[in-house]
Structure formats: C-alpha cells, structure tokens
Amino acid sequence: MKKALEEAEKKARIRDFKVEELINQAQVGLSTEQQRMLMEVLHNATGENYFIGKRKKKTDGVKFVQLIMDNVSYLNDIGYLKSAQEAFLFKLSPYVEFKSNVLIEKVKQVDLDNDDLEIATNALTPTYLAKEFGVTRKHISTIMNSLLEKGILGVAEAGMTTEDGRICTSRTWFVNPNIMCCSPKDGIDRATQHVFKKSLKNFVVEGSSKKHNLPVYLF
C-alpha cells in the first residue's frame, strides 16, 4: 500500500511539473506537439476534455473598411476625384458588405440569448441612400453615376452570384476594393473581381490625355 501511494505521488509530481513547464512555455508560444501534450496531461489529470482557445477581446467583431492608402494618395495627387465625390465615398463606408464589397442597406441585428445575429439585407438603391442622407434621389444618382464612370463604383451583370450566394441584378452596386476594401485583401470575392477587372487601369484625368495606373492592385 505504501509503495503504491509513493508511486502515485511520484506520478502526480511529474504530472504537475509537466503542466507547470508547459504553461510557462505558453508565455512564449507552444508548438503543436506541446499543445497536444498539455491537453493530454490535463485530460489524464482531470478526466475532462480541454482545448486551447483565444479569449474574445472587446475589439473582436468591430466592423471596418480599409482604404488602400497608396491608391487614395495617388488619386488625391493627380486630382482624380472632386471633393463631393470624396465626401460621398466616406459616407458610403457603413454600407459596404464584407468580402463582396456590395453596397447594402444597413445590417440589421437581433439579440438571441445575448448573442447578436446579423440578418442578411438587400443591396441598396439610390432611393434608399437618398432617404438615408436626406437628399434627393437625383443628387444620389448623379454622383453615383459619376463614380461609376471613374471606376470607383461598379454594377453587376444581371444574374451574377457572389461566393456568399448573393444574386445580383444589373443595378447591384459595388465599391472598387482597390480603393475601399471590406475583406481580406487576398480573399476578395471573384464576382467583385470580375466587376472591376478593367477599372482604373490606363485611366486619364479630365482635361488631360496622360494615362495613369494605381500603385497597388489587389487582383
């Protein structure tokens, strides 16, 4: 009996040493094998199954869009956009759909057991934006069409479907990800890439014949 107790205590000390050693190493990062070993030791010690996860931060889930700074700076330097167009683009940022860069109505959220569930929304229209911005539909249509001509905005071909399953009409509006991107820069939706595949390439500034290209193209 005494020998069995001593053996059990020895195993417990070894186990505790391994756990402590691995936890200390976790401060500088664990390899995959070390993570597996830690989970195995904890399981053997407690009988419970564990996994390594990341504690959620307050900033996780914050919505944002990214400006491609070199391209925006270049367009500013050559005077490609008018002040009204630049201001309008800034106001569009809350309406850009993740990954597809489709312009959509504001995302609606419902609270289910304290978890926010996002409800898919429709692609926006100039009429919708006119109500949101408190201006006339004619004003919105004029500025959107001017940005369409400059390759900053784009529209889909009828029947086009994004990778997330959004079926587009001929008036589904997109923002060019080479200017304003709401997705991983190496994971832009293929449908969006198709819409802008020829945009802002060998383009000219009004009143000049000089051709320009952006410093950065994501696709």
Mean pLDDT across 159-188: 92
Dihedrals phi, psi of 119, to nearest 5 degrees: -100, 130
Give dist(CA 116, CA 98) in Å, integer.
17
Average pLDDT score over residue span 191-195: 95
Residue range 62-111, pLDDT digits in tens: 677 899 999 999 999 999 999 999 999 999 999 999 999 999 998 766 55
Predicted TM-score (pTM) of this structure: 0.69
DSSP 8-state secondary structure symbol assigned to residue 56: P
Looking from the CA of 71 toward its CB, the CA atoms found within 13 Å total 18
pLDDT at position 36 is: 73
Sorted by where each begins, the domain ranges of the chain are 2-46, 66-213
Enter the tokens of residue 44. Answer: 């053997």
**pLDDT grade for 53, boundaries at 50, 70 and 90:** low
